[in-house]
Structures are given as C-alpha cells and as structure tokens.
Amino acid sequence: MSDVAKGPAARFPTLDAYLAWLEQRAKLGGSWYREVRPGLFELQDGHFRPEGGDTRPDKSRRTFTRRELAERFGFKE
C-alpha cells in the first residue's frame, strides 16, 4: 500500500484543518462535522447553525469518532 496521501489528506495538513474548512464551507451549503463531545463528531446538514441552534425534532443524525473520520478522509492520527 502506498504512503501517498489521497483525498482530503492530500490537500490539508491535519484532520482539524479539514474539519475547519468543511465548517466554513457549510455557510455556502456543504455538510460538516460538529464535535459534540471530545472525540465524537456529529454530521451536520448543509445549513450552518451556531452551536446549540439546531431546534429540529429529528436528532437521528449519524455520529463518528475522531478515528473514524481520520480513516474515512485518509489522515493518520
């Protein structure tokens, strides 16, 4: 297997940098991941909401650990 980074890991130096970029892009309609507690992230839809601002009754969104996100996007943690 190659050590050459692919996907987001090829463009961003860290997972944190990529997650920050996704959050900024969310203002234009992209999805992003909000850290709901240390090491656990919740996938947010494309409409940016300030922390605590999501009042929708549907709270069934998927959560991911930091390790899962790192593996998914090609980062080595």
Q: In this predicted model, what pLDDT tens digit does every residue of 29-52 receive, in sequence order?
A: 889 999 999 999 999 986 655 566
d(CA 29, CA 62): 18
Q: What is the mean pLDDT of residues 16-21?
A: 97
The number of residues in the chain equals 77
Instruction: Encode burial over 61-71: b for 16+ CB neighbours within 10 A, e otherwise.
Output: eeebebeebbe
CA distances from 53 to 16, 17, 31, 32 (A): 22, 23, 16, 15
Helix (H, G, I), strand (E, B) or coil at 44: strand
In this prediction the pTM is: 0.75
